[in-house]
């Protein structure tokens, strides 16, 4: 798969949706995940288009570090590991117990999402232990999958700013040959945990 073409396509769709929504009565929102830097999540931008009082479509683009780790041996750097990449996501959500304020639904919501990730895993050995057969590793993988999401959006009446938290339990086709995670298997890179700050607009 042509990775630059995939990224350009994701941004193009996002721009088209934003352009389509300009002029509609306060049924759009854009947000970013502020929890990401603390969880090794990438930077992400999410655009939400509300179609009626309870249903929305969310289109997201993301990129950056998905994992960073390093270790030392006898006080000297031994190796460093990192997973970097980018991707996109489409999410449908339904607001269960919402207060419709100026055509903007808020409150508890659930939904489903599909996610695609282009990731590169790199492991660099930083000592002379390389001469014992330890080789640097670079491995690329495409991950595709999805899952279910549950969250809550809080917004003061007549304010354009809001705070949103969500968790997403997902699974997909993603498995590295060389990378062995400490906690969850590779396919669980499609899980989500986000706390976002957003802005509603016309």
pTM: predicted TM-score of the whole model, two decimal places = 0.74
**Is 99 a domain residue?**
yes
pLDDT tens digits, 115-174:
998 888 887 766 555 445 556 777 787 888 889 999 999 988 888 899 999 998 888 777
Q: What is the pLDDT of residue 22?
A: 45
Q: What is the pLDDT of residue 53?
A: 73
**Is 7 a domain residue?**
yes
> What average pLDDT is seen over the chain?
76
Report the pLDDT averaged over residues 58-87: 78
Percent of the chain, pLDDT > 90? Answer: 28
Q: What is the pLDDT of residue 34?
A: 92
pLDDT at 198 over 90: yes
The residue among 170, 155, 178 whose CA lies nearest residue 99 is 155
Report the pLDDT averaged over residues 1-20: 54
Q: How far is CA 198 from CA 3, 30, 47, 135, 178, in A?
A: 29, 5, 9, 44, 38
**Is 123 a domain residue?**
no
Q: Between 48 and 65, whose confidence is greater?
A: 48
* Count of domains forming the chain: 1
**Is 78 a domain residue?**
no
As a whole number of angstroms, the distance between CA 32 and CA 164 comes to 10
Q: What is the pLDDT of residue 195?
A: 94
**Is 129 a domain residue?**
no
Report the pLDDT averaged over residues 47-56: 86
As a whole number of angstroms, the distance between CA 201 and CA 154 comes to 16
pLDDT at 181 over 60: no
Domain range for 26: 3-65+87-113+141-201
pLDDT at 55 over 50: yes
């Amino acid at each position: 798969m042509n990775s630059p073409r995939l990224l350009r396509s994701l941004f193009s769709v996002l721009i088209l949706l934003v352009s389509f929504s300009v002029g509609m009565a306060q049924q759009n929102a854009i947000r970013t995940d502020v929890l990401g830097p603390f969880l090794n999540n990438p930077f992400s931008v999410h655009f939400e288009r509300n179609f009626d009082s309870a249903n929305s479509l969310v289109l997201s683009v993301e990129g950056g570090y998905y994992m960073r780790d390093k270790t030392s041996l006898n006080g000297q750097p031994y190796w460093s590991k990192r997973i970097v990449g980018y991707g996109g996501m489409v999410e449908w959500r339904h607001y269960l117990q919402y207060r419709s304020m100026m055509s903007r639904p808020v409150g508890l919501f659930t939904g489903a999402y599909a996610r695609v990730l282009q990731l590169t895993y790199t492991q660099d050995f930083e000592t002379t232990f390389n001469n014992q057969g330890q080789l640097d590793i670079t491995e690329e993988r495409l991950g595709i999958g999805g899952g279910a999401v549950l969250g809550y959006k809080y917004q003061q009446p007549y304010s354009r700013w809001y705070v949103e938290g969500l968790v997403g339990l997902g699974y997909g086709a993603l498995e590295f040959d060389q990378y062995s995670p400490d906690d969850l298997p590779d396919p669980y890179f499609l899980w989500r945990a986000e706390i976002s700050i957003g802005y509603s607009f016309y």
